[in-house]
Amino acid sequence: RPRCIDAAAGVLSVDRETETLRISNDSRGTCIAGICHLSLTMASHWEEFYTTHLPPTDFEDNRILLKEFCDRHNKTGQRIVLITSGGTTVPLEHNTVRFVDNFSAGTRGAASAEYFLEHSYAVIFMHRLKSLEPFTRHFSGQKFMDMLELLDQGPNTTITVKPDSVDVLAPVLASYKNAQEGGRILYVTFTTVADYFWLLRAACECLAVFETKAVLFLAAAVSDFYVPSNEMPTHKIQSGAGAPTIQLQLVPKLLAPLVNLWVPHAFIVSFKLETDESILIVKARDSLNKYKHKLVIGNMLQTRRQKVVFVTKDSSYEVVLKREEILNGMEIEDPIVSNVIASHSEFLKTHQY
């Protein structure tokens, strides 16, 4: 596998970490011809993933929806955000009975979608099927039923909202109607990590026209390990055959093609979840150095609802909710989204194409 190939016009160097090919005019690697995709010389890990995993059955329908949504908002010069939310699964059988799941309720993504809408962004909400969604998240479980009153059962049945629930429901319903009737939010869903791969690439293809006006807010918890399709049994693993040995392989990171190829001008924000605080900032900075995107938001599993840390190329700062803010029902996604939008606005001032 070549690391460097001399070419007449300069040097082609292969960056194995980001799986990209650089064409440089000197041996220091100054880029003269942009960044090309590694498939010029060899198939990359992430490309292989697409060739070995079929798109989900609703893929074409979603692609049409994404294209229509992006084209409509691009015409009006609107800013747009793609939010990924919820965890991906990794099936252990083709006819799936068992799967490995990734932790995420979808709160971060669903709440953030509401705040981006408040700031007039168009929102693509790409989420795990049945994870939390904007607006309805406020009334999950039995909460919604408990807000309703059933009057006069029989042919004249009436259902009303209990008077003390109106104040709770009305503002959420108003924001929901506003987003829905203005066509400002599109919902698309994934379940498996392969679904996520196909959908994310399709969304990026449609978002590319927004150039710097697009924000990618990658809050989904994406599986890091998977069972390759050709090593997966067709049918349910039988317990009678004894405890199975399951060999997992590394899922390729999509941040590399995302930043270098699919939406190179977009403002890309990724999240980093850790359980050991001592490595959080180091891991976030490693990710920035490796993929060269704009911002990593680090969070600890245990404190993710009260505290996050924004890590950029040259700084890091915490966003923390005070005790009284929590008691007043404030959500951390409110300042997270405000900070991301402030950084996006700054970025737009210096990166207009």
Residue among 123 and 219 whose Cβ is closer to ligand PMT: 219
82's enclosing H/E stretch is strand 80-85
Nearest to 292 by CA among 340, 259, 270: 259
Residue among 80 and 273 whose Cβ is closer to ligand PMT: 273
CA distance 218 to 278: 23
Q: Of 123, 188, 219, 280, which lies in the binding site for ligand PMT, with binding defined by CB under 6 A?
A: 219
Q: Does residue number 260 form part of the binding site for ligand PMT (CB under 6 A)?
A: no
**How many residues sit in the footprint of ligand PMT (CB under 6 A)?**
21
Residues between 235 and 254 with contacts to ligand PMT, criterion CB under 6 A: 251, 253-254
127's enclosing H/E stretch is strand 122-128
Q: Of 108, 137, 293, 344, which lies in the binding site for ligand PMT, with binding defined by CB under 6 A?
A: 108
Residue among 72 and 290 whose Cβ is closer to ligand PMT: 290
Residues between 8 and 67 with contacts to ligand PMT, criterion CB under 6 A: none
85's enclosing H/E stretch is strand 80-85
Helix residue ranges, H only, 208-240? none
* AA letter at 340: V
Taking residues 265 to 284 in sequence order and writing x for each that binds ligand PMT by CB under 6 A, - otherwise, the string is -----xxxx-----------
Asked if residues 84 and 218 have their Cβ atoms less than 8 Å apart, the reply is yes
Give 212's DSSP letter: G
Which burial class, exposed, middle or buried, applies to 53 when counting CB atoms under 10 A from its CB (0-12, 13-18, 19+)?
middle
Q: Does residue number 124 form part of the binding site for ligand PMT (CB under 6 A)?
A: no
Q: Does residue number 199 form part of the binding site for ligand PMT (CB under 6 A)?
A: no
Stretch of residues binding ligand PMT (CB under 6 A), selected from 21-29, 166-174, 218-226, 232-240: 218-226
Residues that bind ligand PMT (CB under 6 A): 104-108, 218-222, 224, 251, 253-255, 270-273, 299, 304
